[in-house]
A and B are shown apart, each in its own frame.
Chain A
Amino acid sequence: MKTSRREFIKVGTAAVLGAGAVTTVGVKDAEAAAKREFSPEAVGMFYDSTKCIGCQACVISCYEINFVNRQSYINNVLAPEDQNFIVREDLIPKLAPEDQFNPDRPWLNVETNDYRFRNIIQKYVDPEDNVHFIKHQCMHCNHPECVSVCPVTALTKDPVDGVVEYNASYCIGCRYCQLACPFLIPKYEWKRAVPKIVKCDMCKSTLGANDIAGTGCTNVCPTGAVIYGKRTDLMKDAKNRIANNPGKYFADKVYGEYDNGGTDVIYLSAVDFKYLGFDERIQDFSYAEVSENLHHTIYTLGLAPIGLFLTLAVAGYINGKRNAHDTFEGVEFEDEYVPDTKTATKSKEVKNKEVKAKAEKDKGGE
């Protein structure tokens, strides 16, 4: 009996150690993260900060197409049989008071993207008093964190044109995409009973996916600061501008070429991008790679959990047989143990009961 007991303890130890080992192996493998290739057909946008005059026509255009009149635009894009379903899920409810047009303050005071503005222009004044503008919207990352973390595939990256799209009819509203996006892009309708995530989808849901339609923001830009096209073409363009204007652009860097694993939207600027709202801590790889690798090593094969389960089942079965105990049948429930008055204080209930019993007895005696 004694030796076999030890055996069981060994089984248990092996099971626990196994689980630990698998986790550690996962940690190791994650370091060898693989890079993902861009689709040759990927579309994107190219924003040259030095050309932007800060007119914010793009902001208003996007606001008009994707927020105020979204419903009618969606209906133009969709086949009639799809219209009702999608529209019901993607409806813009009655505008909240703060969203309505205010004739006293016709200009909307926008500081950051929110559920109304998928795209904004921010201003940075450098120490020499030069003004720089920057346009912020979804970067359409090549290995997007938001898609990687969404548990129900409400966010997807189109394998051909690379657009990262959102489908409200799947979304559970967990906001994990917001937590994970390094550019802080997905926004949430906090003050709605039926909230959605809102982010730029290159106007695919409103203008449709084709080169001719372009996007709301690129179509209206008066200076061509932001343009739409295939990523490969845009990248060539950006490299040419750098080559033709030595010293004009910061560090001759095309932002988005490698940042966060590469993005479909690329930027040029005259100043360091950290002043333009891009976090310095953003790496050359996407954290989606790291977490996916780690997670896959542990689970995709399903071996670790299945192995663990089987070991546990066997150990539990053997131990259970060894320690078979009586079942309850035929056993009366006892009152709970009442401590001795000398060694412990009585529980209140017990005391009360006793007092009552005594009182009743006294009554009966009279």
Chain B
Amino acid sequence: MDLELLTQLTQAFGPPGYEEEIRAVIREVVTPLADSVWVDPLGSLVALKRGTGGGKKTVLAAHMDEIGVMVTYVDEKGYLRFTRMGGISPLMHIGGRVRFADGTVGVISVERREDSSKIPALEQLYIDVGASSREDAPVKVGDPAVFMRPLVAQGRRLISKTLDDRVGCYVLIETLRRLGPTPDDLYFLFSVQEEVTLSGARTSAYKIDPDMALAVDVTMTGDTPKALPMAVEMGKGPAIKVQDSGMIAHPAVRDLLIAAAERVGIPYQREILLGGSTDAAAMQLVRGGVPSGCVSIPCRYVHSPSEMVDVTDVEQTVALLSAALAPA
């Protein structure tokens, strides 16, 4: 496991629509590994690895963007009000910190409330960058920010902000590193704006016009106290998507992944995710339709600043993709 790379990936700035920093990190790593690399009109990065025959095209997509916040108002005293970029819950973020593109750090806190037993609304939270007035605040309306939290490796577990979906980006990069010759042309798509609209994967898949599309993203687990029942656990192997709230995986794609896992002896889990979806849902509907599926890395506390995954799950996801894409 290349922890240095994963650290770099998780810590790079990249809220939806503002993926420059993370794109630069990934571009530098994939450029020597790919036959060509380009940026699409909406900002997604594509690395193409040419196949050996047939010219069939497969897309592997992991999203570069991360959940964050956007400043909507700066008050006279320099406190910031904000809105969500992607699915964030007030419960997860009070007392946390955010970072703006220029490095400015802010603390998230909450107004005093009459009834403090209730979960506050997002409108009751504010960000304090330590400014003393509106004029003094180094931040303006429309500026995006992301949560801060370092990556920690503890035994076989990894804990960090933005494992959703930088761990998917990591899996794509590792797969690209390790893969030998493959029959299909492989398009490694590092997409933008998944957390808000899936519009990066949608538009890039249109341009590529693939024969098959796979998303690589995190999924939730059912293995924490009083979790919503879900037959996916952290540490039990990659999850092969059957269905989520945005799509039904194409059965042929699903079975291709299952057959590959069984052939090389990788443990896997069948995934049904009740709340949430991935880039695959958008890619499936491009042009005349694209057979699409998804391989998920089981992840606890998705969309909190401390997401947790298992190293073996990550490594086995790479192995599963490699087996599926380069049949021996």
Partners in one complex: no
Residue positions of B touching A, CB distance < 8 A: none
